């Protein structure tokens, strides 16, 4: 009982103290002589706005001016203030636009330390998450974060671009993989430039080791050296094994360990973006860089896509000149022995039929020539008779009676 009364007494005292504090604060607010905001420093925008408002507020509109005119003048003043506001500040000429990386990706010759630094490729993970195998790629530590050496990144990126260009120049199949959120557009754009293929959602486990069951229904086609389809081999590809890529570019190797493992089992070379917490031994050609920055991923994917585009252009140019940088596939490589024997027999039958048709046509032509020769013998040619020279005929006496006019003319 005593404790409850004591608590009640203390609570009442605290409530009275709070009321007194609130009363003093309200009184101080009314009797204070200091302004709540420091108005000694005014910016150029505030001065210009105050000047415009004062000019239009001092204008006295006559009574004949309607409310519509007043609204127009107020709107004009607002537009002038907006124009004055936008005219302030500096003009940025070389601004960063995220869409430029997709529309016009950089080329391998455009790779520089400034570009990599602006793309945040040098930022790694915290020192507690690092993989000791990446020690040769690390430049130093800053605020508990590993800093990747940009010289190493530039050198490895140029090497990977050279690999992509040579594979594309030899007609190889390039697969771009990026399954993280936000990497879809960069992956698709790189695949379009290199005329390759892309995966941006999920890698299906077993697509390489058990590809006949997973990808057996996918359509395939045979093309010539200038990428023109040859439709007569479409049926023979149904029973052929699934086509495997010649190079895989993985932008997030940590999430696609199964893909890299299958590539290793099938001897498929890989290119991967390796951060400080990734294992560089899982890929064939590592690129040490920040895999969490979308700008860094866009720059790397764009450079590799441009390299593939250069290789495709070189391959088509050589093909037009009759130069092939790879061994073309022969017919016996596409068909089984039974199908090859059937095709040879069909070609022999076609050749025999063609020979018979040609002999029959030749016989018909001979018979027609003989008939024409016989007709010429039966109807001799008409010889042209020589025309004799016209002999002068003797004048015969005219039996007609001559008129006096004709006699005068004769005389």
Question: For residue range 308-342, what is the model confidence (pLDDT) as tens digits?
Answer: 999 999 999 988 888 887 777 776 666 667 777 77
pLDDT of residue 327: 74
What are 281-313's pLDDT values in tens digits? 999 999 999 999 999 999 999 999 999 999 999
Q: Nearest-CA neighbor of 201 among 173, 218, 175, 177?
A: 177
CA contacts within 13 A on the Cβ side of 50: 6
What's the token pair of residue 145?
A: 């974060």
396 — phi, psi (to 5°)? Answer: -95, 140
pLDDT of residue 54: 64
pLDDT of residue 290: 94
- As a whole number of angstroms, the distance between CA 238 and CA 220 comes to 8
Are residues 297 and 186 in contact, defined by beta-carbon separation less than 8 angstroms?
A: yes
pLDDT of residue 263: 95
Q: Is the pTM of this model over 0.85?
A: no
- In order, the DSSP letters of 195-212 are T-EEE-S-PPTTTTTTHH
Strand partners, 405: none
Whole-angstrom CA distances from 99 to 132, 201, 300, 336 are 36, 22, 15, 50
What's the token pair of residue 80?
A: 């002038």
What's the token pair of residue 60?
A: 């006295």
Whole-angstrom CA distances from 1 to 6, 7, 11, 13, 14 are 9, 10, 15, 19, 20
- Supply the DSSP symbol for 384: P
pLDDT of residue 326: 74
- Supply the DSSP symbol for 262: H
Q: Which residues have a Cβ under 8 Å from the Cβ of 52 and sit 6 or more positions away? A: 77, 80, 81, 84
- As a whole number of angstroms, the distance between CA 119 and CA 294 comes to 9
What's the token pair of residue 23?
A: 């009363």
Q: Residues in the chain with pLDDT < 70?
A: 1-46, 48-66, 331-336, 377-411
pLDDT of residue 191: 95
What are 85-120's pLDDT values in tens digits? 877 777 777 777 878 889 999 999 999 999 999 999
- As a whole number of angstroms, the distance between CA 232 and CA 219 comes to 14
- Supply the DSSP symbol for 402: P
What's the token pair of residue 41?
A: 């420093």
Q: Which residues have a Cβ under 8 Å from the Cβ of 398 and sit 6 or more positions away? A: none
């Amino acid at each position: 009982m005593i404790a409850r009364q004591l608590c009640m007494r203390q609570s009442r005292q605290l409530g009275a103290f709070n009321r007194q504090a609130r009363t003093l604060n309200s009184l101080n607010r009314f009797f204070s002589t200091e302004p709540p905001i420091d108005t000694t420093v005014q910016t150029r925008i505030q001065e210009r706005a105050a000047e415009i408002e004062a000019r239009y507020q001092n204008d006295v509109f006559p009574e004949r001016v309607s409310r519509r005119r007043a609204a127009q003048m107020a709107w004009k003043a607002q537009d002038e203030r907006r124009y004055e506001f936008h005219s302030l500040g500096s003009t940025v000429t070389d601004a960063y636009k995220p869409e430029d990386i997709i529309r016009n990706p950089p080329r391998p010759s455009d790779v520089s330390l400034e570009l990599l630094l602006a793309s945040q490729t040098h930022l790694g993970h915290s020192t507690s998450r690092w993989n000791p195998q990446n020690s040769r790629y690390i430049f130093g530590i800053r605020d508990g974060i590993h800093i990747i050496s940009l010289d190493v990144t530039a050198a490895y990126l140029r090497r990977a671009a050279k690999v992509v260009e040579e594979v594309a120049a030899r007609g190889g199949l390039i697969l771009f993989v990026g399954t993280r959120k936000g990497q879809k557009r960069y992956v698709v754009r790189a695949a379009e430039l290199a005329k390759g293929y892309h995966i941006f959602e999920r890698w299906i486990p077993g697509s390489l080791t058990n590809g006949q069951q997973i990808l057996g229904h996918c359509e395939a086609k045979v093309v010539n050296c200038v990428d023109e389809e040859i439709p007569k081999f479409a049926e023979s590809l149904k029973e052929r094994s699934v086509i495997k890529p010649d190079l895989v570019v993985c932008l997030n190797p940590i999430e696609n360990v199964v893909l890299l493992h299958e590539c290793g089992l099938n001897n498929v070379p890989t290119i991967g973006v390796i951060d400080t917490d990734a294992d560089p031994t899982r890929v064939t050609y590592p690129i040490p860089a920040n895999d969490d920055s979308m700008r860094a991923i866009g720059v790397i994917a764009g450079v590799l896509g441009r390299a593939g585009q250069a290789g495709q252009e070189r391959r088509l140019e050589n093909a037009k000149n009759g130069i092939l940088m790879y061994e073309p596939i022969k017919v016996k490589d596409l068909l089984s022995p039974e199908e090859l024997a059937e095709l040879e027999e069909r070609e022999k039958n076609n050749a025999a039929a063609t020979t018979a048709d040609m002999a029959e046509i030749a016989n018909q032509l001979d018979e027609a020539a003989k008939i024409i020769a016989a007709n010429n013998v039966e109807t001799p040619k008409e010889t042209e008779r020589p025309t004799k020279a016209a002999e002068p005929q003797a004048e015969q006496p005219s039996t007609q009676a001559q008129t006096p006019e004709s006699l005068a003319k004769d005389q």
